[in-house]
Structure 1
Amino acid sequence: MSSNTLKEKFEKELSIGIQLFDNKAFNSAFHHFERAHILGQPHYWRHVKSHYWMLRVGLKIRSFREITGQIVRIIGSAGSLVGKYPTGNTGGANVSPFKTMPIPDDLKPYLE
């Protein structure tokens, strides 16, 4: 699939997450930000954007672990500029920022 389709899918996941965030459904929003993260990793600004929204969830739920984890990950997003990132990683503070993870089957076609 084209990168345009990848961008559209990223934007859709992010948009769903933002809508849930606005409705204070923070756990559900975070899930969609994780999916956006998987799709956004190859592109620096999309990668940063997904971490930004995860940081906002961390702030809303007052999770020190998530807040600090996202700040570190926003800085580490620079790896996308040189193609260094763990594919499939969901981006939350609950997983190592270096751990490669399986890509969900429905997202695989966008990353091929």
Structure 2
Amino acid sequence: MKLNLMMPKEFKVAYQKEIQNYKDSVSKKDDLAAWRFLERAHIIGQYFPVPHTGSHFRMFLFGMRKGDLREVYGQFIRMAFGWIGSLFNRIPVGNTGSASVPIFAPMPIPEDLRVLLQNADTESKGLSGFKK
């Protein structure tokens, strides 16, 4: 079994771009855009334990800042367990990571991320990850 430990360069670049866009949006006080960039970072990073947990940690902090207890609790659970799925390539492909969506629900991958995530198993109805 192959473990998803190291994030390839093209994923790092895309993930870091979304995180920077998130930070820029926060500095402009554009919370809606900031949240969308966090969700996009999650879609990219969820295949790898450290960035997956990092996106949930940022969502946790965002929820704390907004006083959104549902989001805080949801992110706490996701931080505690999500990295395990990443490690073993068992994630809900396309899931945005928000506490407002079911934790194990696969979701459509945004059009502009499909080239990067071309090896994602989008046919699965449950937990999957990269195609073998």
CA-CA distance at 1:79 after TM superposition? 1.1
CA-CA distance at 1:73 after TM superposition? 0.7
C-alpha distance after superposition, 1:38-60 (max 9, x if no partner)? 00011110101111111111011
CA-CA distance at 1:25 after TM superposition? 2.2
Q: Which runs of 5+ in 2 are unaligned?
A: 1-6, 119-132
**Aligned residue number for residue 98 of structure 1:** 104
C-alpha distance after superposition, 1:1-46 (max 9, x if no partner)? x931121011100111022223332221111000000000111101
Identity %: 36
**Aligned residue number for residue 49 of structure 1:** 54
CA-CA distance at 1:105 after TM superposition? 0.7
Query: 2: distance between equivalents of 1:79 and 1:63?
Result: 25
Say which structure, 1 or 2, has more relative contact order (CA 8 Å, 6+ apart).
1
Aligned pair partner of 1:87 in 81, 93, 96 = 93
Matched, 1:18 2:34: no
**Aligned residue number for residue 115 of structure 2:** 109
Contact in 2 for aligned 1:21/1:57 (Cα 8 Å): no
Aligned length, in residue pairs: 111
Matches within 5 A, 1:2-81: 3-77=8-82, 78-81=84-87
Please identify which structure carries the higher helix content: 1
Using structure 2 for the length normalisation, give the TM-score.
0.79
Contact in 2 for aligned 1:88/1:100 (Cα 8 Å): yes
* Rg larger for: 2
Q: Which runs of 5+ in 1 are unaligned?
A: none
RMSD of aligned Cα (Å): 1.4
Q: Quick check: 16-25 or 58-67, which moved more?
A: 16-25
